[in-house]
Amino acid sequence: MENKKTDQLKHVEKHNEGKAMTTNNGVKISEDENTLTVGERGPSLLEDFHFREKIMHFDHERIPERIVHARGFGAHGEFKVYKDLSEYTSADFLTHPEKTTPVFVRFSTVQGSKGSPDTVRDVRGFATKFYTDEGIFDLVGNDIPVFFIQDAIKFPDLIHAVKPEPHNEVPQGGSAHDTFWDFFAQNPESTHTAVWAMSDRGIPKNFRQIEGFGVHTFRLVNREGQSYFVKFHWKPTHGLESLVWDEAQILSGKDIDFHRKDLYESIEKGDYPEWELGLQIIKPEQEFDFDFDILDPTKIWPEDQVPVEIVGKMTLNRNVSNVFDETEQAAFHPGHIVPGIDFSNDPLLQGRLFSYTDTQISRLGGPNFNQIPINRPVNEVTNNQRDAMHQMNVHVGQTAYHKNALNNNDPHTTPREEGGYEHYQEKVEGRKIQKRSESFKDYYSQAKLYLNSLTQPEYDHTVDGFSFEIGKCKSVMVKQNAVNQLNKVDRTLAERVAANVGVEVPEENEEVQSDAKDSKLTMEKFDIPLPGHSVAVLINGDISEETLKAFAKTFTENKLNYAFVGKQPKNISEEFGITETFDTAHPTLFDSVFVLSDDSDLLPEVEEFVELTYKHHKPVIVDRSASEKLGHSKINIHASGVFISNEPEVIVEAFVRARYWDR
Ligand code: HDE
């Protein structure tokens, strides 16, 4: 949409204009560069209270990072429901199409620490805070619809296995190591999610183009008290895209902030990321109609069996003003729900309900974290909770208990009919036991369903993903055990991975005997819209200002991001022309390449740039002059996705596909 020659800081707000600097106690400061000393070269004096305060505050600037999902980035936005959903729920924000509900979303990786690269292979967190008029609803989901475990008691085990190994704190930001694959092989319920994570879903291209899933089964409850089982989905209107693994690895060095920059810049440019909210609904009487348990978080509800109903749209349209104050201090919780939404008995969900408040208390320093601006509901908070660390309110009055006569029993409780939250009355009977339900024990059918549903390139990438990760393990036993697990899902996958990592494929073929597919699982079901696509225009030699302007015009009209890369051609005004050099630009930072050349030979940097773009299956466009000189390169100019043209309009044809896998 914009030539990259723009001042990115232009949108950052000016602050404190014309105001004096003060201490935290409000005293105006006359000196902020030299501490108080005895004479110019003498000892410093502790009585310099401004110095002491400034250093003390700095010493405590960091808070503990999240134990998981430490690396993340967020933005503000809004949500609107398309139609009144009171058939299913009484939730105010889902029954008033005229209302706009503010939201805050934080995307994250799971494994890496706060400073780890964005493009690692991992599940992505997709947590949304809805500031509804009835209180906060947090949809704390992921970009993969299933999870590695079925019971929350195993979460510390999973996370200890996937995090850097304790003896050497390696690797950072990834699961390609022994303890994770040992966990995988010993805990077969992780198979389905692992297959998703090893597929293209594990290396999304950006946050704008991921799906979001609530993962667990929740309940919707309508005004009459009828309940429905529900799964929540976010479908990106910008389509769904992934990186290729080589590209993701290069980006981990070239630009570790690749995803956060993309989100920030898209919002700054007004190319707002959007998702539609989808619901899958199962009626209570259908609970046992499926060949999977609807409470099992390692299972999807295949969309071909339970269609997703699109019910609303979320748009992210405002960057945060301060990442620490807002994104870092945001406290999400799957237990933050509003009337009309309730929980199911999914044991993973039930365990999460304990963990999130508990973790915020140590991360954010006490139980008043709800009072931090980003966590505050938009409606008024009134109750008898008092005191504790970092209390921000000054409570008035004599009473802080219920019931009371001194204050007319206020704040009072509200019946369900008038908007008070009442838990759904589910009848439950049984013995107290510690045992997983038999209905949770099919670990492999849906892993097979997923593999069956992929296109051939997607399947091949999944083989590569497993081969890389298992191949990185040092223990031959772990590699063998992992391949043995794959053999229980898909024989071809097991054979190909075994060959790649150098272990035996088990003699007996134990794969799931099923050709079942779900048409919604491939990523290729999504169209990739032209706007937002980025193109590197490589300038080889002297290209006229007129030509560059014609390109700039077409790109802008089609809402494409572009950069002119190379050396500034002669006779071009300084404020126009080159925006990146071969030192600053890199093929992995763009979606495609366009080469403009005069009669001179191609620069080696141009050739390298085009070769890597070609290797990553992205569109390559060269003008006629450049095409004649690419003969001896690694590029087949007749291959699919390679276009020879001098016309800027060729982009419309070239960019209909993000990747040309058949090259
Ligand atoms: Fe989380 N998870 N989780 N999780 N999770 C956290 O909470 C936990 C699970 C998810 O951007 C922590 O505030 C347990 C599933 C996201 O701030 C912690 C279990 C799903 C985020 C925690 C799970 C998620 C978290 C760490 C097993 C997808 C980041 C810091 C029962 C549906 C939210 C924090 C943000 C964060 C616990 C499993 C998603 C430790 C015990 C399943 C997106 O409380």
pLDDT of residue 294: 98
What are the beta bridge partners of residue 228? 220
Pairing of strands 227-236, 218-221: antiparallel
Taking the centre of ligand 1 as the mean of its atom positions, its distance from the CA of residue 68, in whole angstroms, is 7
Contact 185, 480 (CB under 8 A): no
pLDDT of residue 526: 76
Q: Rounded to the nearest 5 degrees, what angle is found at the Cα of 188, between the Cα atoms of 433 and 428?
A: 30
By residue count, the chain amounts to 663
Measuring from atom 23 of ligand 1, which residue has the nearest CA?
Answer: 352
pLDDT of residue 11: 63
Q: What sign results for the dihedral spanned by CA atoms 110, 113, 114, 120?
A: negative
Q: Cα 540 vs. chain centroid, distance in angstroms?
A: 37
Residues marked as catalytic: 69, 142
Residue 571 DSSP class: T
Is the shortest distance between the CB of 347 and ligand 1 below 6 Å? no
pLDDT of residue 527: 77
Q: Rounded CA gap, 521 and 7, in Å?
A: 40
pLDDT tens digits, residue range 248-297? 999 999 999 999 999 999 999 999 999 999 999 999 999 999 999 999 99
Closest ligand 1 atom to the C-alpha of 354? Answer: 41
**How many beta carbons lie within 10 A of that of residue 544, not counting itself?**
14
DSSP string over 524-554: GGS---STT-EEEEEEES---HHHHHHHHHH
Taking the centre of ligand 1 as the mean of its atom positions, its distance from the CA of residue 129, in whole angstroms, is 14
pLDDT tens digits, residue range 5-31? 444 455 677 889 999 999 999 999 999
List, in order, residues 6 or more apart from 606 with CB less than 8 Å away: 538, 540, 566, 595, 597, 626
Q: Rounded CA gap, 22 and 20, in Å?
A: 6
Taking the centre of ligand 1 as the mean of its atom positions, its distance from the CA of residue 62, in whole angstroms, is 21
Measuring from atom 31 of ligand 1, which residue has the nearest CA?
Answer: 152
Residue 54 buriedness (CB in 10 A; 0-12 / 13-18 / 19+): middle
Q: Rounded to the nearest 5 degrees, what angle is found at the Cα of 301, between the Cα atoms of 298 and 302?
A: 115
What are the beta bridge partners of residue 204? 242
Taking the centre of ligand 1 as the mean of its atom positions, its distance from the CA of residue 448, in whole angstroms, is 27
Q: Rounded to the nearest 5 degrees, what angle is found at the Cα of 94, between the Cα atoms of 84 and 521?
A: 100
DSSP string over 320-345: -S-TIIIIIT----TT---TTEEE--
Q: Rounded CA gap, 346 and 424, in Å?
A: 15
Q: Rounded CA gap, 387 and 367, in Å?
A: 9
Is the shortest distance between the CB of 141 and ligand 1 below 6 Å? yes
Closest ligand 1 atom to the C-alpha of 140? Answer: 43
pLDDT of residue 3: 47
DSSP, collapsed to helix, strand or coil, labels residue 477 as: helix
Taking the centre of ligand 1 as the mean of its atom positions, its distance from the CA of residue 518, in whole angstroms, is 28
Low-confidence ranges of the chain (pLDDT < 50): 1-8
Contact 638, 645 (CB under 8 A): no
Is the shortest distance between the CB of 106 and ligand 1 below 6 Å? yes
Is the shortest distance between the CB of 110 and ligand 1 below 6 Å? no
Against a cut of 0.95, is the pTM above it? yes
Q: How far apart are the first and last CA of the chain?
A: 28
Is the shortest distance between the CB of 351 and ligand 1 below 6 Å? yes
Q: Cα 479 vs. chain centroid, distance in angstroms?
A: 29
Measuring from atom 18 of ligand 1, which residue has the nearest CA?
Answer: 356
pLDDT of residue 574: 76
Q: Rounded CA gap, 262 and 205, in Å?
A: 10
From 63, 65, 66, 369, mutation site for ligand 1 pocket: most ligand atoms within 8 A of C-beta: 66
Q: Rounded CA gap, 323 and 577, in Å?
A: 33
pLDDT tens digits, residue range 496-537? 999 999 999 999 999 999 999 999 999 987 778 888 899 999
